[in-house]
Structure 1
């Protein structure tokens, strides 16, 4: 009997059967825009081989004005159809099924040709949209239907019509963006006319035996969003119009509520989808922050949906389903929802990948095969850089010894996992431990390696990480001063009022650690209250009228930096605003452009700017040093003195904000070449 009977059960759609209840949700990776169709095909085929029932591509534009940015990929001509057929053929050869998402961005399109229901500019784009007239609306409908027909001709098993996240069809549904007074605006019957007509025309274009998924916004999380009654009415009409499946969308892109970041509780919105169960007779898919087979099984067993959608977990591990089916759930590389290599890349115009799995989207470039010559390799440092190197090298057949002075693996990850909202890092360390246990790597913990100890190895990799930078502030050795490492490792405590020196990623993490008692990420009800989310059946759009109601901060914290720029400016592109907003909700004071003059029993003495104006004292029980890091290179330098040239990676190479993404990528790529 399978451990996951609901998750791995087939789903009969009548004209075709899905082999399990797992959908790989749509992700815009940027691969299609490379026009390297072999690369695109291999990305999807790798996940098809991993056992997922159905995949949905990144959003393909139905026309130029609907593309998320100028030059966005779509199916516009016969050449596009031929290129996409390379992908679908490869997926089918791998035993998989794939649907193409048709995404019309509407006013979210980052270009001057964007169109929408009304000429209301989006807060996340500088381009005001053109209000469509009757002929313009007909063109969009026809283009979407044509895109579906082309997808069918290209060999796709279905299409997903993107009707959520605040994109084009969603923009017609709510008065927030639809101010029309014709038959496409005004009453809800009129406002929902467009998505219904689109699904009807798509179904007519592709016939009966073709999967048509409609991605429906279950909870908009914006002012003036849909009521639950409207959501249910639309779902029923979409079913009548010919949809095979309804997929779930949560929140508009402009919503000021996090929906998929690591601080969002697992399965945080499955309760919304559960409300739709029984209202329609076609299958319903739930999504957002489902990242383990256990969570997926629980969601289905609880009756929240007929199927679960996971997107980024298939970047982290393309073999997610196959490992679950084989009883190897502990070996599934976990998506930690960090956004660093996926969404941050997407919104920066880069190819997406994964912090945990640098091969994601680089399957044809970063190839990892058996070593031509087996070597003995010493890896010093069991943080993310050293772990990725050791596991990749041993997977290629090398004989690896992993050495670390600490009593446990994980390095800086063990501090990250102590931060409220970063609980997923516990799972990442657990995964590394499971992978080491299943490998032939010799692990030596509590061991201080010397240059002499490393003699005789064919290759030596130094991944010794970083040390805190010395800020050289007069009085920093006082009893009221602690370092961030001692604090996060539980070796030091903080008083009721705290000043943090340094507002990089670590400074923000420490601030969150100090103001939070019980992490809301571990308590869904508390998290919903903190961010002001409520049942859309009670309040339109799912926004609580009283707004966010966070728990009272357990300490008074001030966060400082020397730079005069906005604090948190260099945090993640798609998550920085969440960290800033969360600390603002906890009344954390953020001050930039300060000079650290001295520390005494009163607190921290500071001044402003180059002229050192406005000298004052910030009274504090505790001052925490988070003033950056420097590379720990002492062992590397000792080896070089002995004539040994080691490979230096991770923080030991570049001490930049504890960058696990760079460390894991660097370690993996090095090991692939040894």
Structure 2
């Protein structure tokens, strides 16, 4: 794996860095149909929840968000899903933009946005959806009954969907023509049809498992693709043959059964669209008039494919994109953890794709493209694939954000506030909260100084990043180290700050971000009872047979890492299921991790209260019955407690003092960073 945090530009005799030459192919101008892009980078479409107004236009937040990614150098901007249908699958407003709800207003706000995007030399497509059907997330469903091609099971609810009538299909098709024409008037360079992909409504029509119709929209592959065919024909008839129409397309569904997806490397019988039919579908869709295909794999029943968590490999769609690229004569887009520029450049060079799409990486750092072009790779803020700020918040709260970038989709509201009178600020603690506070304060013009009791910055990112699938956590820690160095923030390591130390120095403000400590309990033979951090940091050797006490996120990820390293692992959880007490996780992350546990032969004992550990045997009470598990060690993953003792000593003696991160409230990386940004941006 490329360690992009340590790369520095190497200048050749010509003055052009070797790094710039290495990635030169990514910055070539490229034509897709009649549209010429300044480089091969695209903002992958992501749900624009919170980016529209009550009339279906783009609000100021949405305009700023998309324009910011254009300013960052991205060649093509594709909006997240917008709608044109106002009759069949009605949307609660404001939800997502809608190009036909109030056409005059949509054109006005869309024009304001596209003109700003074009000022940076970028192009922009409007992604238009035929609807969600059986996969509509319940929080976005409102009072409207879910629809589908046939009376099939809803993805999330125990309800049967209502089949669409033919006249409703025709109404949706017409709305695409109306909406695309409004998009063209608003200055969009093309549209992307959403989607024969991920199991959305058009995909439900295309997949025989979901489409049980006997009319002209069911049966043969051609009939199941008729809906998609008539949409592109309608758009072309209204906007002209030269108007670019792209399509989101999943080559393979990865469905084992209803609501059951396959894992990477798993052998299974495909119940959805398999590769052979997918290749045939791609050929037909190109023949029907789609000018480019945006390729991935998966469905909502296997959501961790379309929205890959950190447990998926980087560049996971490349083999599938290449299959499509070799089968069609239209440009192919490829996304899916493509933030490693070596992987991206290789994919283009080897003919797997024409365009590299970045979704979450451009949430994390809107300047990714410009930084890469300038050879400043170690300045790119990494996406950690946690999906807490993006998919998790879309799913739970109907808004798009980013865990590591508090300004994403809130650019204007969270712009840095310059200071008139710089303050000298002491920050105690070098985890993500302390580092983020120091970074923001320095950018604004204050004079922060950071003190950390360990030998490096990063806090819980360090043990958290130990598993190979959490490598990006370590990249984030390195990014903070580099940022504070560039900003010339004084950092003192290996120093435990005391009350007396603080009072002996003249600081205007004190920020306490001293993190948290793992909870521990005595089980008897405590010599072989360790914390997860001790094991992850390789301070302790857990042996070959390990019992993890606690089935939350830390426990499950530690168990997975140990199992993949050849250990025999058992999870013992007091509650009736794993991952029950964590804050809302994106379903893609949660469901994949849940399935990876048995797939990696990890034993699980739930509703179990641990009672002791002696002579290599852990005992647990399971509903009144004693269970015994032989093991070499026990790893405690039973939560964390705030370390706020310094704050309590100082809170009545320091005029301006703040408590941040886990020291205030044990949570996740996102809230540590967000809270630190909020406070540091208003001191």
Relative to the length of structure 1, the TM-score reads: 0.89
For residue 264 of structure 1, report the CA deviation from its aligned partner.
0.7
Matched, 1:108 2:117: no
For residue 581 of structure 1, report the CA deviation from its aligned partner.
0.8
For residue 217 of structure 1, report the CA deviation from its aligned partner.
1.5
Matched, 1:579 2:579: no
For residue 136 of structure 1, report the CA deviation from its aligned partner.
2.6
For residue 389 of structure 1, report the CA deviation from its aligned partner.
0.7
For residue 384 of structure 1, report the CA deviation from its aligned partner.
0.6
User: 1:11–1:19: 8 Å Cα contact kept in structure 2?
Assistant: yes
Matched, 1:480 2:491: no
Q: What SS does the corresponding residue of 1:313 show, helix, strand or coil? A: helix
Provide the rounded CA distance (Å) in 1 between the counterparts of 2:155 and 2:619: 40
Q: Name the counterpart of 1:247.
A: 294
Aligned counterpart for 2:37 among listed residues 9, 12, 18: 18
For residue 643 of structure 1, report the CA deviation from its aligned partner.
4.4
Aligned length: 631
For residue 648 of structure 1, report the CA deviation from its aligned partner.
1.0
User: 1:65–1:113: 8 Å Cα contact kept in structure 2?
Assistant: no
Provide the rounded CA distance (Å) in 2 between the counterparts of 1:315 and 1:436: 21
Distance 1:464 1:247, change over 3 A: same
**More divergent stretch after superposition (277-286 vs 594-603):** 594-603
Matched, 1:38 2:60: yes
For residue 256 of structure 1, report the CA deviation from its aligned partner.
6.2
- Deviation string, structure 1 residues 542-579 (Cα, Å, up to 9, x no partner): xxxxxxxxxxxx23322223334554463613211111
Provide the rounded CA distance (Å) in 2 between the counterparts of 1:604 and 1:322: 55
- Deviation string, structure 1 residues 184-213 (Cα, Å, up to 9, x no partner): 222222222221221111111211343211
Alignment of 1:88-99 (within 5 A): 88-99=114-125
Distance 1:171 1:640, change over 3 A: closer
User: 2:48–2:79: 8 Å Cα contact kept in structure 1?
Assistant: no
**More divergent stretch after superposition (279-288 vs 223-232):** 223-232
Aligned counterpart for 1:351 among listed residues 378, 383, 399: 399
Q: Name the counterpart of 1:529.
A: none
For residue 126 of structure 1, report the CA deviation from its aligned partner.
4.2
Provide the rounded CA distance (Å) in 1 between the counterparts of 2:207 and 2:61: 39
Matched, 1:262 2:262: no
Relative to the length of structure 2, the TM-score reads: 0.88
Distance 1:97 1:369, change over 3 A: farther
User: 1:54–1:98: 8 Å Cα contact kept in structure 2?
Assistant: yes
Where structure 2 has 5 or more consecutive residues not aligned to the other structure, the ranges are: 1-15, 256-269
**More divergent stretch after superposition (256-265 vs 384-393):** 256-265
Q: Name the counterpart of 1:298.
A: 346
Matched, 1:183 2:245: no
Matched, 1:560 2:572: yes
User: 1:68–1:105: 8 Å Cα contact kept in structure 2?
Assistant: no
Provide the rounded CA distance (Å) in 1 between the counterparts of 2:553 and 2:35: 48
Provide the rounded CA distance (Å) in 1 between the counterparts of 2:63 and 2:33: 28
- Deviation string, structure 1 residues 580-611 (Cα, Å, up to 9, x no partner): 111111232333333333332242332245xx
User: 1:602–1:617: 8 Å Cα contact kept in structure 2?
Assistant: no
- Deviation string, structure 1 residues 613-638 (Cα, Å, up to 9, x no partner): 22343332211122211111222233
**More divergent stretch after superposition (106-115 vs 416-425):** 106-115
Alignment of 1:600-615 (within 5 A): 600-608=614-622, 613-615=624-626
Provide the rounded CA distance (Å) in 1 between the counterparts of 2:462 and 2:670: 15
Aligned counterpart for 2:559 among listed residues 511, 517, 528: 511
Q: What SS does the corresponding residue of 1:160 show, helix, strand or coil? A: strand
**More divergent stretch after superposition (73-82 vs 402-411):** 73-82
Distance 1:65 1:135, change over 3 A: closer
Q: Name the counterpart of 2:321.
A: 273
Provide the rounded CA distance (Å) in 1 between the counterparts of 2:415 and 2:444: 11
For residue 468 of structure 1, report the CA deviation from its aligned partner.
1.4
For residue 445 of structure 1, report the CA deviation from its aligned partner.
1.3
For residue 181 of structure 1, report the CA deviation from its aligned partner.
2.3
- Deviation string, structure 1 residues 281-320 (Cα, Å, up to 9, x no partner): 2211111111133332222122211111111111101111
Q: Name the counterpart of 2:236.
A: 203
Matched, 1:77 2:102: yes
Matched, 1:145 2:167: no
User: 1:66–1:106: 8 Å Cα contact kept in structure 2?
Assistant: no
User: 2:424–2:507: 8 Å Cα contact kept in structure 1?
Assistant: yes
User: 1:603–1:623: 8 Å Cα contact kept in structure 2?
Assistant: no
Provide the rounded CA distance (Å) in 2 between the counterparts of 1:293 and 1:346: 28
Distance 1:242 1:671, change over 3 A: same
- Deviation string, structure 1 residues 470-491 (Cα, Å, up to 9, x no partner): 33x352x532211222111111
Aligned counterpart for 1:429 among listed residues 472, 477, 488: 477
Q: Name the counterpart of 1:520.
A: none
Q: Name the counterpart of 2:608.
A: 594
Aligned counterpart for 1:234 among listed residues 272, 277, 281: 281
Q: What SS does the corresponding residue of 2:193 show, helix, strand or coil? A: strand
**More divergent stretch after superposition (615-624 vs 415-424):** 615-624
Matched, 1:29 2:48: yes
Provide the rounded CA distance (Å) in 1 between the counterparts of 2:572 and 2:562: 15
Distance 1:237 1:403, change over 3 A: same
Q: What SS does the corresponding residue of 1:382 show, helix, strand or coil? A: coil
For residue 665 of structure 1, report the CA deviation from its aligned partner.
0.7
Q: Name the counterpart of 1:662.
A: 671
User: 1:598–1:604: 8 Å Cα contact kept in structure 2?
Assistant: yes
Q: Name the counterpart of 1:57.
A: 79
Q: Name the counterpart of 1:468.
A: 518
Where structure 1 has 5 or more consecutive residues not aligned to the other structure, the ranges are: 518-553
**More divergent stretch after superposition (118-127 vs 300-309):** 118-127
Q: What SS does the corresponding residue of 1:487 show, helix, strand or coil? A: helix
User: 2:552–2:578: 8 Å Cα contact kept in structure 1?
Assistant: no
Q: Name the counterpart of 1:87.
A: 113
Q: Name the counterpart of 2:24.
A: 5
Q: Name the counterpart of 2:546.
A: 498
Q: What SS does the corresponding residue of 1:28 show, helix, strand or coil? A: coil
Q: Name the counterpart of 1:626.
A: 637
User: 2:510–2:654: 8 Å Cα contact kept in structure 1?
Assistant: no
Q: Name the counterpart of 1:533.
A: none
